[in-house]
Amino acid sequence: GHDAVAANVVLRDPSGRVGPWTPMRELAQGTDRWGADITPDAEGRWTYTVEAWSDPVATWRHHAAIKIPAGIDTDLVLAEGAALLERAAAGVPKKHGREAVLAAV
């Protein structure tokens, strides 16, 4: 299979300050063409950066939505989901909700 991906477009205003970021969306499923609607709030020369990454949570959700209802590798899929949440929790500082992420496991 293929991993899901996600992307943002990040604006930089004419003074060089990083502005808002906007989530991108796949323009047509399966085409690997992505886009976002952005509107600068001032005149001038703006630049942008596209940030993209693999999305392990979306990948797991996709696999789980197919396999669990079909009864295929259910224990494995659930164990993979728990491991994914544990890895996510490890990156959350204790004072910012690590326990809430771990509670989902």
Q: For residue 53, what pLDDT is reported? A: 92
The predicted-structure confidence for 15-71, as pLDDT tens digits, reads as follows: 999 988 899 999 998 888 999 999 888 899 999 999 999 999 889 999 999 999 999
Task: Please tell me the predicted confidence (pLDDT) of residue 85.
Answer: 86
Same domain, 86 and 97: yes
Q: What number of H helices and E strands is found in the chain?
A: 3, 5
Q: What's the pLDDT score for residue 56?
A: 92
Q: Please tell me whether residues 50 and 61 are part of one structural domain.
A: no
Query: What separation in angstroms does the CA of 1 have from each of 4, 59, 68?
Result: 10, 9, 16
Q: Look up the domain containing 76 and give its range.
A: 56-103
Whether 30 and 13 share a structural domain: yes
Residues 72 and 90 in one domain: yes
* Domain count across the chain: 2
Is 50 in the same domain as 69? Answer: no
Q: Is 35 found in the same domain as 61?
A: no
Residues 73 and 96 in one domain: yes
Q: Which distant-in-sequence residues (6+ apart) come within 8 Å of 35 by Cβ?
A: 24, 25, 27
- Whether residues 76 and 40 share a domain: the answer is no
Return the SS3 of 73. Answer: coil
Query: Do residues 50 and 86 both lie within one domain?
Result: no
Task: Give 105's pLDDT tier (boundaries 50, 70, 90).
Answer: low
Instruction: Assess whether 31 and 45 both reside in one domain.
Output: yes
Residues 21 and 9 in one domain: yes
